[in-house]
Structures are given as structure tokens and as C-alpha cells.
């Protein structure tokens, strides 16, 4: 499946469920591209972006903020994040788990950083045989836990 969600300047996706459900839930999907959105939660609840079960996703030029957790990637997924910010989430900025791979930034000299900041938990939590690759100008700062 190919799916592209491309926002225009100022495009926002807001949490209509007050943290009961993920704002974006991607499951068993390949070639998904999310670009140019501010995804904003209510400051509580579950993950804003949830990517599960063999999904392949690219996120670029997004701000993901004020959720229970910014993004949760699990169960054999591959996610590339470029020029995006994960901030002010109650728990982790990003959690990657269960044999998944997360790539933040790029080695190709991108001039805009990927930033993970001011989250209540870890900036990036990696567990259950998962891996995170952090490249280039990626910045992890001022999080409540590690990274």
C-alpha cells in the first residue's frame, strides 16, 4: 500500500479523543509518508503516532507534541524521521520496540535538525531487540530520562 499525507504550511492534526486513541495509527502498511504536519495531543493519554506490525514509514518536516507519548514503533517496523521535532510529551518522545528500526536524521548533510526535547520520559527509548540509528544534526536534549 502506498499512502502519502502531505500537509500545507500550518497544517495541523489535533487529538479529537483527548488521549483515548492514537491520532495516527499505522498498522501493517508499507510506503507510508507523513510530511508537513503539526500533530498535537491534549497533554495526556496514549501515543500520538502508533506504528505497528511490519510497517514501513517515513516522517518528515513534522512537529509531534503534547501527547502521552510522541510515537511508539513496534513489531518489525522500519521508520525514518527527517527534519522533525518530538516535544513536550508526558512520557517518552519516541519508543521503538520489538525488532523495529528507527532512523533519526540523515548522513547526507541535511541542514535542518531532527529534535527530541522536553519530554517527561526518555527522549528515545529502545527495547526488546529494537535499534535506533541517530545521524547528522539530530538533537536530543532536556528530556526527563536518558537521551
Q: What is the pLDDT of residue 125?
A: 97
Per-residue pLDDT tens over the stretch 110-134: 778 899 999 999 999 999 999 999 9
Cα–Cα dist 48/114, whole Å: 17
Per-residue pLDDT tens over the stretch 1-47: 689 999 998 899 999 888 899 999 999 999 999 999 999 999 888 99
The answer, yes or no, to whether residue 146 has pLDDT greater than 80, is yes
Parallel/antiparallel/unpaired status of strands 131-134 and 101-104: parallel
87 φ, ψ to 5°? -150, 155
Amino acid at each position: 500500500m502506498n499512502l502519502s499525507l502531505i500537509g500545507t504550511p500550518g497544517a495541523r492534526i489535533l487529538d479529537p479523543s483527548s488521549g483515548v486513541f492514537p491520532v495516527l495509527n499505522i498498522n501493517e502498511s508499507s510506503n507510508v509518508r507523513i510530511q508537513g504536519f503539526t500533530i498535537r495531543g491534549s497533554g495526556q493519554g496514549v501515543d500520538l503516532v502508533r506504528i505497528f506490525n511490519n510497517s514501513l514509514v517515513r516522517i518528515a518536516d513534522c512537529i509531534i507534541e503534547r501527547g502521552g507519548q510522541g510515537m511508539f514503533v513496534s513489531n518489525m517496523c522500519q521508520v525514518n524521521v527527517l527534519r522533525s521535532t518530538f516535544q513536550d510529551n508526558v512520557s517518552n518522545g519516541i519508543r521503538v520496540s520489538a525488532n523495529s528500526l528507527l532512523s533519526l536524521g540523515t548522513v547526507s548533510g541535511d541542514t535542518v535538525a531532527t529534535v527530541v526535547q522536553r519530554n517527561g520520559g526518555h527522549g528515545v527509548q529502545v527495547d526488546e531487540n529494537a535499534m535506533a540509528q541517530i545521524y547528522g544534526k539530530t538533537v536530543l536534549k532536556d528530556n526527563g530520562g536518558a537521551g
